[in-house]
Amino acid sequence: MSDSSNSAGERFTLQPDTTGTGDGLRLEPVETDTAAEATEKEPSYGWTMVRELVETVVLSLVIFLLIRQVVQNYRIENHSMEPNFYEGQFVLVNKLAYRLGQPDRGDVIVFHNPRNTSEDYIKRIIGLPGDTVEVNNQTVFINGEALIEDFTHYPIPPGEYSGPFVVGDNQLFVMGDNRPNSSDSRVFGPIDQDLAVGQAWLRIWPLNEFGIVQHVDLPLAGAPVSQ
């Protein structure tokens, strides 16, 4: 016997005509399991789960990469910024701070070590472009005026002399708050601002010290102290 179908997609089969009124053959519809066929074409539950997992991972990766363009976390690895930052603390760095604004004296920044750019340092900005910085008689002088440093408990060692350093365009002079135990611009000179990763923004660990990083004003002895 042969099969045929109509325009609506319904299938028929030819059967012998036992009624005696036809030519010996008649058409009878054949039932088809269209529901089963449709089900077989639908994605399996396992494949759907895999697809959703891949989409979630990709979306999470995109969000992570976008966040990394804005902030980045760092662990303090040494004592050079004590008493304001201690080894083992974690801080978030605002990487857009100096793309959208200008650095200021007193800002705490993270930057690539100019002698080894795979290593990052955290220091405080002391000198800005155009400044002349000199260290003498346990005092930092900027353009001949003594810098008031009430934010550090570790003074410059007696007899140390550095400079004078002229801070060029697009450069910064940086120092650690722990003056006797910091490798900074007194050693490697002013840094290019392009080396700056960003401004220290949020202290996130330990939790009992969680909060916004405070950036101090650094007035000069001959300038009015901001209130």
> Is 41 annotated as catalytic?
no
Strands 211-212 and 196-205: antiparallel
Structure tokens of 30?
């054949």
Q: CA-to-CA distance for 91 and 110, rounded, in angstroms?
A: 10
Q: Which of 2, 44, 80, 162 is catalytic?
A: 80
The answer to whether the Cα torsion of 122, 89, 148, 100 is positive or negative is positive
Burial class (CB in 10 A: 0-12, 13-18, 19+), 139: middle
> Is 226 annotated as catalytic?
no
Q: Which of 5, 44, 118, 123 is catalytic?
A: 123
**Element housing 142 (H / E):** strand 139-142
> Which of 120, 99, 117, 98 minimizes the C-alpha distance to 107?
98
What length does the chain have? 227
Q: Which residues are identified as catalytic?
A: 80, 123
